[in-house]
Amino acid sequence: MSLSTTSGFRLLPGRLSPDQQKALLDEVLAKAQEAPFVHQVTPGGKPMSVAMTSFGPLGWTTDAKGYRYEPSHPTTGRFWPAIPTILTDLWTELADPHVPPDACLINFYNADARMGLHQDKDEADFRFPVLSVSLGDTAVFRLGGARRNDPTASMKLASGDVCLLAGASRLFHHGVDRILPGSSRLIPGGGRINLTLRRAAPSS
């Protein structure tokens, strides 16, 4: 599979410096005290292998009622913490300079966690991209096409890497095949944190 830039997919290796990665991690862990990571359950009743939380006005939620965005944490009932400025600045620079993100989904992967091929389709307007930031251990990321049976390509996403699903690639299937334990020392105890910025609600 050729990852032509005409698809709208962009990979920016090492976009965040080590100092920026550490500052962002510290902010994520602090905010996670207010909005803890939880293993949410799919509509089919299967617990997800990744632990999740969110920042921003809206957070992604899954349960027996389906996939959707909600303004509050599923277990605490509290509003989500604000999106860190370093992430909103990245969005303004790389995604959309006029309309801000209103959701930041945060996934924590331990050594055994995976994410199957899926499309991000719970947002109101697919014109807005999905911006992804990696922290911690390297992930083997798989990117396909708009159809589930399209050819796929795999690549490694290391700590500090940023990627953008925009244009045609906005609806490409993608997932995480595995985590490479010990590939980073950023997160105490290991693991990977992936932060994805989205525009979930309609823009005015």
* pLDDT number for residue 6: 60
pLDDT above 80: residue 193: yes
pLDDT digit string, tens, across residues 61-93: 999 999 999 999 999 999 999 999 999 999 999
pLDDT above 60: residue 4: no
- What is the rounded average pLDDT for all residues in the chain? 95
Note the pTM of the prediction, 2 decimals: 0.94
pLDDT band at 203 (very low <50, low <70, confident <90, very high): confident
Tell me which H or E stretch contains 101.
none
> By the 8 A CB rule, do 53 and 107 touch?
no
Domains of the chain: 5-198 (2.60.120.590)
The whole-number average pLDDT for the span 124-133 is: 97
pLDDT band at 179 (very low <50, low <70, confident <90, very high): very high
pLDDT above 90: residue 3: no
The whole-number average pLDDT for the span 26-43 is: 97
Torsion angle, alpha carbons of 115, 50, 14, 185, to 10: -130
pLDDT digit string, tens, across residues 98-126: 999 999 999 999 999 999 999 999 999 99
> By the 8 A CB rule, do 65 and 43 touch?
yes
Residues 6+ apart with CB under 8 A from 19: none
State the residue for tokens 């905010």.
31
Question: 89: buried, middle or exposed (CB in 10 Å: 19+, 13-18, 0-12)?
Answer: exposed
Torsion angle, alpha carbons of 33, 176, 67, 97, to 10: 80
Torsion angle, alpha carbons of 53, 33, 16, 50, to 10: -30
pLDDT above 70: residue 5: no
Q: Residue 132: which of 168, 97, 107 has the closest Cα?
A: 107
